[in-house]
Amino acid sequence: MRFSLMDVKGYQFRNDYYALKEVRGGIHLGKEYSFMKRLTKEDSRIHLYENTDKVTTSNPYGGSYTTYETQYYLQMPNEQEDAVWPLSSNKFVPNFDEKMSKLVADCPSLATKIANKETGYFYAQVSMFKEKRANVLMQIIDEYNNCGR
């Protein structure tokens, strides 16, 4: 069977689900799509995705080399179904505390923790490993999902 790429929402591989997502907030011309591993539960209000991006770097002596880097992306509530944002995009940094607390304002206790930069609820633009950012977001997502329950 042949399918158009846009006809495939995602696929399951072993215990992981990979969803087709459109990357927003980058410097790309046109639309960029990728199948990304969903790290959150299916019914989560905010979704965190992991993707391995191919990075080609030019060598000053001519030629280039390719590396692969793990990147993390967030899908916010009330966003278009397939749109995700890199954690390093201007949607989140700088001023992560201000921007993220506004995004979860309907959960005042969580918004306050983020705004106050409490440990485990904040990350700086350049000072943390990507995995640490993902851990911070997972903590925020878990608390947001349980807010008001």
State the pTM of this model: 0.85
How many domains is the chain built from? 1
Q: Do residues 91 and 99 touch, judged by C-beta distance below 8 A?
A: yes
**Which letter does DSSP use for residue 14 in this model?**
T
Q: 96-103 vs 108-115: helix axis angle to the nearest 10?
A: 180
The domain in which residue 102 lies consists of 5-146
pLDDT tens figures, 102-146: 999 999 999 999 999 998 898 776 655 777 888 999 999 999 999
Q: Using one digit for the tens of pLDDT, what is the confidence trace for 61-93?
A: 888 888 898 999 999 887 777 899 998 888 888
Confidence tier at 149 by pLDDT (50, 70, 90): low
For residue 96, the tally of other CB atoms under 10 A from its CB is 20
Please name which of 84, 79, 66 lies closest in space to residue 24, comparing C-alpha atoms.
84
What was the pLDDT predicted at 64?
Answer: 85
Residue 101: the pLDDT is 94
Report yes or no: 137 and 131 within 8 Å, Cβ to Cβ.
no
